[in-house]
Chains A and B, each alone.
Chain A
Amino acid sequence: MTDLSMPQSQTEPRSQSAVGKVALRWLLYVLLGLFALYYLMPLFVMLTTSLKSLEEIRTGSLISLPREVSFDAWKTAWSGACTGIQCEGLRPYFWNSVLIAVPAVAISTLLGALNGYVVAHWRFKGANIIFSLMLFGCFIPFQVVLLPMARLLGMMGIAGTIPGLIFVHVIYGLGFTTLFFRNYYVTIPSELTKAARVDGAGFLRIFWSIFLPLSLPIIVVTVIWQFTQIWNDFLFGVSFSQAGTQPVTVALNNIVNSTTGVKEYNVDMAAAIIAGLPTLLVYVVAGKYFIRGLTAGSVKG
């Protein structure tokens, strides 16, 4: 009965706080909008510049829209721009990157899943140490391993080849992919493995029939992560490739740096967008799974 008098006395402050809430919300939206504009600015400049002619770039303002839309720069960037002495554009290098990234992502994801499965559900003596060492691998700066890796690739006879680059990326990705899958799989009750063992399933059968079908969210996370890392990698690409096996990032660098006479900003911008497009696409397509999967390992349900 005492509750009945409560709403009346609270009406006044409640309406005040409601107004405050709306104001706060709008302030938040405006602020977020400003930030978004700020972050989108470079992309806007790149896009407009790539659609302008060289003449217009020289005379016009940096942030103005193109007077005349022209895709010539894109054509040049894709198939005509010079990287040093060759003038084939980004195209061959783009395919190099695809040839490197796709198998490297697939292999490192699959191995990471297997590793994570073992570390989380087939505990053996020293499992913790091995897992810690793998984690440690995530934090070794790339530069440290350049020389030993070059030597190793040479000894294996795959220096300067695409398989060599795939190998490097798989090795470097394993720490992360194992971590992702391990953290995901530890949330799966071990009784599931036990039940399957009593049912007669072996190591691989349990992985294939029970764990993999459960893994879609974490596979998406791993694929996005690995694809972004490998596609955007420059250091390994420039260190362990030779003419003809360079990835798109290295080619982009070469296009931008090998200027003869006038600097073709529109071509540079178009080339940069082309080089960045695949990762952008992956984020747009699978981005919502990314956030979902990243939190899946830490918070259950």
Chain B
Amino acid sequence: MAPILDINKLYKNYGATEILKDINISIEPGDFLVLVGPSGCGKSTLLNCIAGLEEITGGTLSIGGNDMTHVSPKDRDIAMVFQSYALYPTMTVAKNITFGMKVRGVDQATQDAKLKEVAQLLQIEPLLNRRPSQLSGGQRQRVAMGRALVRDPKLFLFDEPLSNLDAKLRVEMRTEIKKLHQTLDASIVYVTHDQIEAMTLATKIVVLKGGVVQQIGTPAEIYNNPANLFVADFMGSPAMNLIPAQAHKNGAGTQIAIARDSGETLVLNDARDLALPKDVILGLRPEDIAEAGFRAGDGVQEAECLVDMVEPAGADTYVVSELGGKQVTARLHAETSAQAGKMLNLAFDMSKVSYFAQETGERLN
């Protein structure tokens, strides 16, 4: 099938400032694409470019196989949900939802039918005669989605739709958006700075930094094989441990040496045959460091470490230890016997390790 959205060599400048550089993204119908990155990385600008609210400086953009590079927003067959919901304050919920159809000259009977259908789907029927100011945050969010849904567009655009909600509601609405995506089989482009939202919702993630795409991939790919130090650090909470280390060829595998302030050098072996430079940054997720005996597998190696801190978090207990001059977090089970200031045998899953070049931060394996 033809891609529903195809962005080709897109550039966007404001005057002399380059906001977006050489963006190439393509998604299939039914994909849930999440653009994620820190504030000011250009993700919202990219979404506005897709919507046609911002002219692009270079490159092409097509939606549903039609070239939309210079087409106005209303003719792109898209619908958009905004961070502030952007509900029209003087109109009732019903009028908000039907405004687009009214502007396009859709007849009244169709408008009513569509309104009813969407109101049912989102369970906002009792709210139809209220004004936005009389709604709660979650209700406004629903209405904003309703306004997008009535269009039945080729592509939905979501601009940080959950960031104005409180934590509990955010999780609820996140689930609901995911459900909606599955029920409608809609194609969605979704902007967020919240990496957990990105992981839970996406079928495909684009990580942006400074207007440049860092990595495109499925949530699993991004999480397990981050393309560089930035992605490794940005995705996942608590963040991936990034430890300076030294690599030596050791027979078929690789020997990794990590200096420690608190004792002798920690030596680990990676069975994989890797061509690594001497100085590397070793990346290991907290959940890939366990208490000895609780993790089995080919790559698992145990070593004694000094526990600096123990942070119980309910379901897990985080243990912090100093390795290579960094605070390294390990995610242990809740009933661990770890105590601050004592030694603890930790199991490192070396088969999960990512290596990054110290200079460029690019992935090496």
- The answer, among B53, B84, B104, for a CB contact under 8 Å with A197, is B53
On whether the beta carbons of B53 and A194 are closer than 8 Å, the reply is yes
Q: A191-B82, A191-B83 are in contact. Are A198 and B88 (CB under 8 A)?
A: no
**Given A198-B74, A199-B99, A200-B74, A192-B88 contact (CB < 8 Å):** yes
Residue from A194, A199, A201, A213 having most chain B Cβ neighbours under 10 A: A199
Contact assessment for B73 and A214 in the assembled complex, using a CB-CB cutoff below 8 Å: no
Q: How far is the CA of A200 from the CA of B72 in the complex (A)?
A: 9
Choose one: B53, B84, B89; the contact of A198 (CB below 8 Å). B53
CB distance from A145 to the nearest CB of B (A): 36
**Are B86 and A191 in contact, with the CB atoms below 8 A?**
yes
Asked if A45 is at the interface of the complex by the 8 Å CB criterion, the answer is: no
Q: A191, A200, A214: which contacts B100 (Cβ < 8 A)?
A: A200
Residue of A whose beta carbon sits closest to that of B100: A199
A195 within 8 A of B: yes
Indicate if the CB atoms of A198 and B51 lie closer than 8 Å: yes
Please determine whether B74 and A197 come into contact, CB atoms closer than 8 angstroms: yes
Is B90 an interface position by the 8 A CB rule?
yes
Number of A-B contacts (CB under 8 A): 54
**B interface, size bucket:** 20 to 34
Does B78 touch A at the CB level, under 8 Å?
A: yes
Within 8 A of A (CB), among B69-101: 72-74, 78-80, 82-84, 86-90, 99-100
Q: Are B88 and A196 within 8 A (Cβ)?
A: yes
B103 in the interface (beta carbon within 8 A):
yes
Q: Are A200 and B104 in contact (CB under 8 A)?
A: yes
In the complex formed, the residue of A with least CB distance to B89 is A214
Minimum C-beta distance from A263 to chain B (A):
56
Residues of chain B contacted by A200 (CB below 8 angstroms): 74, 100, 103-104
Contact yes or no, B88 A210, CB < 8 A: yes
**A198, A205, A209, A214: the one within 8 Å of B79 (CB):** A198
- Name A's B-contacting residues (CB within 8 A): 189, 191-192, 194-201, 205, 209-210, 213-214
Question: How far is A84 from B297 in the complex, measured between Cα atoms in Å?
Answer: 111
**Taking CB as reference atom, which chain A residue is nearest B90?**
A213
Summarize B's interface: helix, strand, loop or mixed.
Answer: mixed
Known pairs A192-B88, A195-B86. 9 more at Cβ < 8 A? A191-B84, A194-B82, A195-B147, A197-B72, A199-B100, A200-B100, A201-B103, A210-B90, A214-B90
What is the CA–CA distance of A195 and B86 in the complex, to the nearest angstrom? 6
Question: Roughly how many angstroms separate A249 CA and B353 CA in the complex, as a whole number?
Answer: 87
Bound complex: CA of A195 vs CA of B53, how far in Å? Answer: 10
Residues of chain B within 8 A (CB-CB) of A199 are: 74, 99-100, 103, 147
How far is A241 from B100 in the complex, measured between Cα atoms in Å?
A: 50
The 9 closest A-B pairs by CB, nearest first: A199-B100, A200-B74, A195-B86, A213-B90, A191-B86, A191-B82, A200-B103, A198-B80, A198-B73
Q: Who on chain A is nearest to B48 by CB?
A: A194
CB within 8 Å of A: which B17-60 residues: 48, 51, 53
Q: A residues within 8 A CB of B87? A: 195
- In the assembled complex, the CB of B143 is this many whole angstroms from the nearest CB of chain A, namely 12
In Å, the complex CA distance between A195 and B88 comes to 9
Please name all residues of chain A whose beta carbon is closer than 8 Å to the beta carbon of B48 when the two chains form the complex: 194
Shortest distance between the CB of B95 and any CB in chain A (Å): 9
A199 vs B99: C-alpha distance in the bound complex, in angstroms?
7
Q: Please, could you name 29 A-B residue pairs with CB atoms under 8 Å apart, sorted by A?
A: A189-B84, A189-B86, A191-B83, A191-B84, A191-B86, A192-B86, A194-B51, A194-B80, A194-B82, A195-B86, A195-B87, A196-B88, A196-B99, A197-B53, A197-B72, A198-B51, A198-B78, A198-B79, A198-B80, A198-B100, A199-B74, A199-B100, A199-B147, A200-B100, A200-B104, A209-B88, A210-B88, A210-B90, A214-B90
